[in-house]
Structure 1
Amino acid sequence: MTAPFRFPRFFVTSPSPCPYLPDRQERKVFTELTGPHAGELNDALGRIGFRRSQSVAYRPSCGSCTACVSVRVVAGEFQLNATQRKLRRRYSDLVVTACRPWATDEQFQLLRSYLSARHPGGGMTMMDESDYADMVEQTPVNSHIIEYREPSVDGRPGALVGACITDQHADGLSMIYSFFRTDDPLRPGLGTYIILDHILRARATGLPYVYLGYWVKGSARMAYKTRYRPIEALGPAGWTRLKEMETVSARPVEAVVLA
């Protein structure tokens, strides 16, 4: 039986300044996710290091630079350490809901606050409500936005304190983008909690992995991704436990032919 999703057309972007490492240029290879097999294509590309943005799957293709490395947590073997257990207890009162991918003004206002605090001057700070709606709703795959809310008050939903756009793959959850409240001293570590919740959510449903995107060696902004063990990185030999790759240069598997 013919499987059309096996033969997508790939394109390469023009070089642009790298957002993670100074004095470097980035370039991406990408393809469109369309048609009835978009979910299967997204799954297959996710296993070789691609990420999704709306209806596009992409990965770095930067020539001489191989700093960006795809990483995924092995959910079935993950064990909370003492600090993570304490954090889970601290947030045990939050109401967590997997919502259909539909953008709301409450989510957008939380995103604006998050970007202003964590990524001032970044490209996403220019997003308006329509851009955010496209980011959430333009998904050809099985996607949700996971909401994290304070406990309800008088039967009304509590305040939204965190959210994550999440895809479900055949072999795991892919965290596309998370954002959360950063200005509450009584609620520190929300970003960590959201990752932990996804790992435990995947494990409870029998999904083996949580895809965290790219770990960028040398970027302080991406160092947090190595705190969740066991974690695998994608290199020339496929997916390997990160501890075996921390001292070597890693390049994603070259498994596609550019059109």
Structure 2
Amino acid sequence: MSNLRTLRFYATPEHGCSYLPDRQARTLFVDPRTSIDRNLYSQLSDLGFRRSGGHIYRPHCEGCQACISVRIPVDRFRPSKTQRRIENRNADLVVQSAPCRLTDEYYALYERYIRQRHADGDMYPPSEDQFSNFLTEGCADSCFYEFRNTDGHLLAIAVSDRLDQGLSALYTFYDPDEYRRSLGVYAVLWQIRQACRLGLSFLYLGYWVKSCRKMNYKTAYSPLEMLHNGEWKLMDKA
């Protein structure tokens, strides 16, 4: 069985940075042929690695450390007034876990979300192959959390990985017409509560980039820990 000492890694050539348009980026990947169980994936997550489909990676950019791994210590989390209002606003929703799979219902929601919210991004235009490669391949300890209203209508899906020490929030897509619900925020809040219910310590939110406006939402969850020089430390609000 593989362990951290025996893992092989591959670095990509430089390519345009998705977060900072004036920068070049390089990514470090775990050998995709490696068999990775939950324990090893959990260790990699604590070292700042992230999963996308069947690939586990982290930024590996020369002379740049703008991408910072962040996580929420869920037992210390205290929602803001705005976050409490969002939780109350969505108290009618029913959430249940489901296997990661491609269905007509899931893809219809995903397609609408990408077309209306991310038409200027790397994921446009959406496709079924993209959905499968990104959201259904990879970790066996992953699930779709379905958020449905009282009529059973699917409003959102949060893709989440189970780690030894927490949950890793991979991606959320939702009905763009339900903007009053703030479903993206609610999905994070719900996963914080779910980690607590499961007796886990953290919710991993991926990377935060200070100069990237799209990443600013992550600092709204407090306290937030950041990985700096191999150590997890509370983020300075200043």
Give the TM-score of the pair, scaled to structure 2.
0.93
Q: Which runs of 5 or more residues in structure 2 are unaligned? A: none
1:69 aligns with 2:68: yes
Q: Quick one: which amino acid aligns to residue 66 of structure 1? A: Q
- Pairs within 5 Å for 1:137-156: 137-152=136-151
Which stretches in structure 1 are left out of the alignment for 5+ residues?
Answer: 153-157, 247-259
**1:221 paired to 2:214:** yes
Secondary structure of 1:148's partner?
A: strand
1:31-87, Cα deviation, whole Å (9 max, x unpaired): 135565432221111000000112211000111111110000010111122221111
CA separation in 1, counterparts of 2:16 and 2:230? 29
Q: Which residue of 2 aligns with 1:160?
A: 154
Relative distance call for 1:23 and 1:148 in structure 2 (3 A) is same
Partner of 2:174: 180
Which structure would you say has the larger Rg?
Answer: 1
**Counterpart position of 1:194:** 187
**1:102 Cα offset (Å):** 1.5
Q: TM-score, normalised by structure 1?
A: 0.86
| Partner of residue 211, structure 1 | 204
- Contact 1:136 1:145 survives alignment (8 Å): no
Could you list the per-position Cα deviations for residues 96-148 of structure 1 after superposition, in whole angstroms to 9, with x for gaps in the alignment?
01111122122112112212222213221234113312323212330001111
User: 2: CA distance between counterparts of 1:109 and 1:14?
Assistant: 35
Matched, 1:86 2:67: no
Residue 5 of structure 1: aligned partner = 3
CA contact (8 A) 1:42 1:141 kept: no
Shift of 1:175: 0.7
Equivalence for 1:32: 31
- How many residue pairs are counted as aligned between the two chains? 237
The one-letter amino acid paired with 1:24 is R
Distance of 2:130 and 2:181 partners within structure 1: 28
Tell whether the 8 Å contact from 1:5 to 1:38 is kept in structure 2 after alignment: no
What SS does the corresponding residue of 2:83 show, helix, strand or coil? helix
What is the distance in 1 between the residues matched to 2:155 and 2:213?
Answer: 24
Structure 2: distance between partners of 1:134 and 1:218: 29
Match of 1:105 in 2: 104
State the distance in 2 between where 1:49 and 1:36 align. Answer: 19
Distance (whole Å) between structure 2 residues aligned to residue 62 and residue 35 of structure 1: 23
C-alpha separation in 2, matches of 1:75 and 1:224:
17
Q: What does residue range 104-143 of structure 1 map to in structure 2 within 5 Å?
A: 104-143=103-142
CA RMSD of aligned residues (A): 1.7
